[in-house]
């Protein structure tokens, strides 16, 4: 299908095409497409823009990544398909950030393909393609991580993560920054710093904030963040928009 840039849904149609291609290439799995659709609805309900509360969360996320001893960003199929460039920019903006491929539906082939996409986008050192450690509390493949990455990380940025894994990371004492458009998801509720925003917007903002904000790391501890307040603001915004839509509905 040929897309016109003037189509009102141009961006989301383009993203859908990119995912369909990544599916054919074996980078994303069918479940990833369904998950993307779930996110699309929340983005639509949030007005398809970064809320002020999300921007605040992104600024604090940039600081956490700079303040961390071992910051890591976890990359799954959808992130590899949709945001390899943004991940590379983030890695340039945050010195010492590890980039680790971490898949829910893991095959060696998929991990290789995603690693390859990240390298082509400019990520120098991609971890996790051949996992070397396990995190406890998770079944089988989903527990496999890199000994130099998530295994030793103190701060993990997990875009589009599932609730079980977020919980397992928390149980290991790691501080978790999530990017998830669903403010009600277990990931958003479990994360220390939930960012309720679309993947590429969030990563771009964090990279920009980190590039500007480089400064001597403060010790000990991380900048405080009100996770519950951030989620409440996202819910309230959805609510406001629904009420407005309901009122505009007079037939």
Footprint of a second copy on this chain (CB under 8 A)?
16, 19-20, 23, 29-31, 33-42, 182, 184, 189, 227-228, 231-232, 235-236, 238-239, 242-243, 245-246, 249-251
Minimum separation from the CB atom of position 178 to a second copy (A): 15
Q: Which of 81, 110, 63, 77 is nearest to 212 (CA)?
A: 63
93 contacts: CB under 8 Å, gap ≥ 6 = 62, 206, 207, 208, 210, 211
Distance CA 150, CA 157 (A): 10
* Shortest distance (Å) from residue 34 CB to a second copy: 4
Q: Is 190 helix (H, G, I), strand (E, B) or coil?
A: helix
- Taking the complex as a whole, how short is the minimal distance between the CB of residue 49 and a second copy, in angstroms? 17
Which CB atom, from 20 or from 135, has the smaller least distance to a second copy?
20
Closer to a second copy by Cβ: residue 42 or 151: 42
User: For residues 29 and 207, which CB has a smaller minimum distance to a second copy in the complex?
Assistant: 29
- Shortest distance, position 83 Cβ to a second copy, whole Å: 17
Shortest approach of a second copy to residue 42 CB, angstroms?
6
Task: Specify the residue, 219 or 249, whose C-beta has the smaller distance to a second copy.
Answer: 249
Confirm if 32 and 199 have CB atoms less than 8 A apart.
Answer: no
Minimum CB distance to a second copy smaller for 212 or for 240? 240
Report the C-alpha gap between 152 and 173 in whole angstroms.
Answer: 11
Q: How far apart are the C-alpha atoms of 170 and 191, rounded to whole Å? A: 8
């Amino acid at each position: 299908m040929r897309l016109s840039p003037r189509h009102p849904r141009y961006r989301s149609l383009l993203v859908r095409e990119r995912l369909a291609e990544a599916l054919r290439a074996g980078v994303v799995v069918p479940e990833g497409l369904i998950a993307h659709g779930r996110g699309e609805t929340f983005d639509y309900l949030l007005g398809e823009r970064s809320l002020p509360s999300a921007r605040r969360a992104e600024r604090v996320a940039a600081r956490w990544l700079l303040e961390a001893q071992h910051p890591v960003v976890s990359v799954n199929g959808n992130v590899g398909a949709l945001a390899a460039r943004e991940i590379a920019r983030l890695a340039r903006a945050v010195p010492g950030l590890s980039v680790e491929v971490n898949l829910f539906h893991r095959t060696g082939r998929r991990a290789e393909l995603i690693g390859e996409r990240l390298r082509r986008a400019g990520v120098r050192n991609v971890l996790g393609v051949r996992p070397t450690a396990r995190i406890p509390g998770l079944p089988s493949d989903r527990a496999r991580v890199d000994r130099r990455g998530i295994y030793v990380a103190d701060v993990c940025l997990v875009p589009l993560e599932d609730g079980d894994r977020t919980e397992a990371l928390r149980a290991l004492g790691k501080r978790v920054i999530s990017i998830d458009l669903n403010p009600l998801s277990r990931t958003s509720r479990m994360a220390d710093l939930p960012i309720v925003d679309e993947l590429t917007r969030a990563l771009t903002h964090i990279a920009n904030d980190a590039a500007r904000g480089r400064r001597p790391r403060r010790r000990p501890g991380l900048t405080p963040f009100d996770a519950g307040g951030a989620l409440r603001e996202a819910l309230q915004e959805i609510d406001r928009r629904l009420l407005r839509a309901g009122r505009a509905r007079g037939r």
